[in-house]
Each structure stands twice: as C-alpha cells, then as structure tokens.
Amino acid sequence: MTAVTSSDPLVSLAQTRTRGRVRRISVAGGLAIAVVVVFALSLVVGAAVISLPDVLSTLAGQGSRNTNYVILELRLPRAVAGVLVGVAFGLSGAVFQNLLRNPLASPDVIGISTGASAAAVLGIVGLGLSGLAISGFALSGAVLTALAMYAIAWRNGVSGYRLILVGIGLNALLLSVISYFMTSAQVTNAQDALLWISGSLSGRNWNQVVPLLVSLVVLVPITMVLGRVLGMLGLGDDTARGLGVPVGRVRLGLIVAAVMLAGVATAATGPIAFIALLAGPIGRGLAKDGSPALLPSALVGALIVLVADFVAQHAPFLPNLPVGVLTGAIGAPYLLWQLARTNSGGQGG
Amino acid sequence: MTAVDALAATDSSDGHTPTRHTLAAKGLRLSYDKKEIVHGIDLELPPGKVTMIIGPNGCGKSTTLRGLARLLDPSGGQVLLDGKDITTIPNREVAQVLGILPQHPVAPDGITVTDLVSRGRYPHQGWFRKWNAEDDEAVAQALTVTNTAELARRPVGSLSGGQRQRVWIAMALAQRTDLLLLDEPTTFLDLANQVELLDLLTDLNRRSGTTIAIVLHDLNLACRYADHLVCMKAGDIVAEGTPREIVTADIVSAVFGMRCDVLVDPVSDTPMIVPIGRHHTNTPRDSESTS
C-alpha cells in the first residue's frame, strides 16, 4: 500500500473504505465473469459444437429444432443446475465454516448433504416419489441429520470439534444407508447410484432445476441478509452481544438456512463432494479482509462445479464421469491436508 | 457537532462532566451451571467516575462485570440501566449506551484495524443503515485517540499485544457509549502498555465524562487509577469506597490472605500495597498500616 495517504484521519479512512469497496467489487466481478465464461463454454462445447452466436440465438428463441433440443433441453438445464448448486453449496459451506469457526465444519464433511441424499433415495426407491416431493424429503433429511448430530454431540453444550467428529461418523453411516437402499432396490443403472452417492449433473433437466431455483430465490436472500451479521459473530459471542447483535437468533437462522441450502442442492444433483468444503476458504482467501466472504464463496462454488463438470464431460483422457468424482479428487487431498494441519496445530483435541 | 463533542466542550473545571446514564446492580445473583458465583450484591457505578473492581482469583469480579454488561442473565436480583431492568431493554438500545470489552476478545483472521474498529458502530447502524459521516468521524476519532491511526491498514493479527489491545479499546471508543466496562484489559501487557492503556481510559473519562468500570488484577494500578474501588471476595462485596478510604493492610490481608504494608505511592499519593512474603523481608514486622 504505497499510495499517498492524507494525514487527515477522516480522509485516510474514506480512502481505506473506497479501497475495500473496490477490492470487493473486483473480486466479485472477476468471479462472476469467470462463471459466465465457463457457462458459455459449457453451452458451446459438446458432442456437437454449437457456435456462440447460434447459442445466443437459440436462447433468444430463434434456434433450429436441433439446437433447441441440445441447448434448451440438455445443456442449459445442466449448466444452470451447476451454477445454482454451486452457489447453494458454496454459501452453505461458508456459513457453516464461519459459524463453527472451523474449516472442517462443512455440510458435506459432516454428513448434512449425505443425510439429504439418503432421504431422497428413500423417497425415490422406497416410496416412488419424484419432483417436488424429493426436494421436500431431501430437505427433511438434511434437517434431521443436523438435529441428530447436535443431539449426539451435546454434552453441556456443543464443542465445534466434537460436532465435526460426530458429523464425520454420521456421514459414513448415511453413506452405507444409501448403498443399502441401492442394493435392496436393485438399482442397476450405475449413473443413478453414483448420483446419490457422489453427486452428478448428468441427466439434470428442468424438473430438478425449477424447484431448486424457487428454493434458492427464497433462501439466498435470507442467507445474505443474515450473513451481514456473520462477520459480527466472528468477534466472539460476548463482544457481538455487547454490540447489540442477537447472537442466538442469528446463529439459529443461519444454521437453518445453511442446512436447507445443502438440502435443496442435494435434492437436485446429489451431494456433490467438497464444493462446500472448498468454496469458503477460497472465497475468503480472495477477499483477504477477514470477512465471511459469502458472495465470493457462492461464486467460487458455482465456478468449481461448472469447471469440474466441463472437465468431467470433455477431458480427452477421462471417461464421462459424474462431477462429484472429480471434485472428490480435488477435495479429498485438501481435506487430508486440512486435517493434518489442524492436528499439528494442536487443535486436534 | 456530536453529542459527545458537545459534552467534552462543556468540561467543568475538575474535568468531570455529568453523564446521562446509570448502571446498578440490586441483589444481583449470578450462576454458572447451577453454581452460584455472585451472592446477591448491590453495586452502583458512580456516574462519570472510574470504578475498579478488585479481588482474588475466583471472587466473582469478572462474573459481576459480565452480569452488569448483560452478557449473563441474573439468577436472582436485577441489573438496572437508568433505573430499568436491563433485560427488558432491547439489546441494540443497550449497546448504544453501554460498551463492554470482554476478556480474550477474538478477531477474525485477516481483519484490518480499520474494519475491526468500524465494527464498533454496529449498534448505531442496524441491518440496512448505511455508513454516514458520524460513523466515519467516530472511527477516525477512536483511531486518533488510541494512537492507532498509523496501523489502520494492517491486519490485527500482525500487531503486538499492546497495539492489539489499543485497537480493541478503539473499537469500544468508536461505539461512543456513556458507560464502558472492561474485563481485565491489561492482562498480558507489559507495564508500560498497562500504564498507557489506563492513562488512555482516564483521558476518556476526564474528557467525555464516560463512566468506566474496570476489573483489574494489579492492585497498585487499581489504587492509583480508581476514583471508586470495589473489593470482592467469594461472591460478595467486602469493601467499597475511594482507595484511600478502604485500602488498609487489614483489608488486604482479609481479602487476599496476604500480609502487606500499605504505603503512600510517592508518584501519585495513592495507597501502595507492598506484599510481605516469606523471603526477602528486611526485618520481621507486623502488618500495621502506615497511611
């Protein structure tokens, strides 16, 4: 920071604020542009490469029968699902990690998304449900898992680390529940099984995207508004309460919102691994100002999902993988690194 | 001109200006996990004065301060802000007149000094209120007064202990409250920084008439800086008054279980407690007060 600063503290303050605002806008803007670029790429590239002008005219309603099918029925819902799910998981992860003050406290690590998935599988395989009912089941699954985790981890209050351990255990349990449902229902379509275990965008159409969009239209603004106060909670409960923050209510509201975000996203695409885990730290790293960085985290989440899905579909040396396998490949080493770092830092408990 | 500046401009000759808000405890009982720590105390913070709360480890002084700051709900009795039960006043309104700096405050990773101090304006802002000139002025003044303006762009985590504590004080100052409570603000600071901090708080009190209450573990600094001293033991208040009135060798021995001599501090003319241990005493002497 070598810019000339006035010795007048008020002017210097105004400069600092402007600088912060500029940085926030550039980070968010840069990420948004990146998302748009990859989004456009995923509409253009495929088995049949459709040029960008053709894509745009199809979106405007002027496409041929072929491009209409490929763009409007196949690629667009898939790409939109990718963005929405990335935003939802990214926000959910960032909120959880900030509230519990631990980068490991991510809904995908501690079993919230897996719980949503198990409930969705129960709905599909056990009860033959579809559409909105699946979303409802997934949501309930996420909420029930969160409640169960809290209840099991409670011993005169809940310590963050105990919650994470219980969550990891529940995650493993719920994965086996999903596998059980798969085998007992004789799901022979491997894609279906993979969808609910590691998350996939393949075959996602407007039936999944529309309920997701509707849920996010409600949940995202609520989360962002509550998120304005998330930074205050980072000062510690006592200081926050001393500044007039309704700590208990805000925390409850944020947890509920974050759990629901993970739930509705899982309902659409299955629990795409590690988006929630990765988006928060990357978002915070880009923002670099100690804030919870919810908007950058949401955009980073969308970007990771879109890029991973693009690579998973079109990389020359890979078979057509579900996106969750790819994000798992990036996320798992990161998780191991985080775990090792936490332990060596003495926070292993 | 803000209210606080107006207040400062009407300084009377002894530097004490009338404050508008009062904080008191009546029959206050505070408990942790069903164990009662504070047993029904009555305490009024004298408006416009610096009150220090002292006592041995575990006597309940920090608990009392947290109770006064409504961070802890009473298990009995009341905390009265301007004569009204503080639990009936909306939290944000309380935060506009009462500031608390707790022990071990936490700063998020990477937050800058300016951002942290700016958080102090939250009670005056609400969910959607934007930054206005008064907010900026409060933050700028807080940075100037605590000599942290040159640190404004640095991350709080990169500062020394003394600097960091001054930044936390700046955040409390930016809140511009009439009442300010501080829980052991000088722990982990070296002597020079301790004195500097207490001088800063005295400035605030003399300039703006802010009522200040501090839990302090250093007895001699407490005797020097307090207008009003509150001495606690095992959840009760055992003595209250000016340091000259209440600090005697007998009281110190009864409360702290320590033999001592009480002399007159040659620098400030306030009581100075000189502990008598088992070693390094010149002649065996009884603990008679020499004030």
Instruction: Give B129's pLDDT tier (boundaries 50, 70, 90).
Output: low
Reply yes or no on whether the pLDDT at A128 is more than 80. Answer: no
User: Is B134 within 8 Å of chain A by CB?
Assistant: no
Q: Which residues of A touch B94 (CB under 8 A)?
A: 244
User: Is A236 within 8 Å of chain B by CB?
Assistant: yes
Residue closest to A258 by CA, chosen among A144, A73, A137, A99 = A99
Of A342 and B174, more confident? B174
Contact A9 B33 (CB under 8 A): no
Nearest by CB: A9 against B71, B106, B144: B144
Q: Which residues of B touch A228 (CB under 8 A)?
A: 127
Of A336 and A35, more confident? A35
How far does B219 lie from chain A, in Å, by closest CA? 26
What per-residue confidence (pLDDT) applies to A163?
83
Reply yes or no on whether the pLDDT at B291 is more than 50. Answer: no
Of B274 and A158, more confident? B274
User: Is A253 within 8 Å of chain B by CB?
Assistant: no
Contact A291 B101 (CB under 8 A): no
User: Is B155 within 8 Å of chain A by CB?
Assistant: yes
How far does B109 lie from chain A, in Å, by closest CA? 5
What per-residue confidence (pLDDT) applies to B24?
96
Residue closest to A341 by CA, chosen among A300, A333, B159 = A333
How far does A113 lie from chain B, in Å, by closest CA? 27
What per-residue confidence (pLDDT) applies to B282?
84
| Per-residue pLDDT tens digits for A12-63 | 888 888 988 899 999 999 999 999 999 999 999 888 888 888 888 888 888 8
| Per-residue pLDDT tens digits for A238-276 | 999 999 999 988 998 999 999 999 999 999 998 998 899
Whole-prediction pTM value?
Answer: 0.85
Contact B152 A231 (CB under 8 A): no
> CA-to-CA distance for A302 and A320, rounded, in angstroms?
20
For A126, which DSSP code? I
Contact B143 A231 (CB under 8 A): no
| Per-residue pLDDT tens digits for B183-234 | 999 988 899 999 999 999 999 999 999 999 999 999 999 999 999 999 999 9
Q: Average of pLDDT values for A166-172?
A: 91
Residue closest to A106 by CA, chosen among A291, A297, A286 = A297
The share of chain A scoring above pLDDT 90, in percent, equals 40
> CA-to-CA distance for A83 and A77, rounded, in angstroms?
10
Which of B94, B114, B177 should one mutate to test binding to chain A, selecting the residue with the greatest count of A CBs within 10 A? B114
User: Is B286 within 8 Å of chain A by CB?
Assistant: no
Instruction: Give B9's pLDDT tier (boundaries 50, 70, 90).
Output: very low
* Mean pLDDT for chain A overall: 86
User: Is A205 within 8 Å of chain B by CB?
Assistant: no
ipTM of this predicted structure: 0.85
Q: Are A322 and A313 in contact (CB under 8 A)?
A: no
What per-residue confidence (pLDDT) applies to B11?
39
Contact A291 B111 (CB under 8 A): yes
Q: Which residues of B touch A294 (CB under 8 A)?
A: none
What per-residue confidence (pLDDT) applies to B284?
58
Of A161 and A329, more confident? A329
Contact B108 A231 (CB under 8 A): yes
Rg of chain A, C-alpha, whole Å? 21
Nearest by CB: B119 against A12, A16, A243: A243
Backbone phi and psi for residue A38, each to the nearest 5 degrees, phi listed first: -65, -35
Contact B127 A1 (CB under 8 A): no
User: What's at A280, amino acid-wise?
Assistant: G
How far does A168 lie from chain B, in Å, by closest CA? 25
For A279, which DSSP code? H
Which residues numbered 100-129 in A keep a CB inside 8 Å of some CB on B? none
Residue closest to A186 by CA, chosen among A266, A141, A118, A126 = A126
Contact B95 A12 (CB under 8 A): no
Strand order in the sheet with B84-85: B35-44, B23-32, B76-81, B84-85
Enumerate domains of chain A plus CATH numbers.
39-341 (1.10.3470.10)
How many CB pairs below 8 A link A and B? Answer: 106
Question: A211: which residues sit within 8 A by CB, 6+ positions away?
Answer: A131, A132, A135, A264, A267, A268
Q: Average of pLDDT values for A83-93?
A: 96
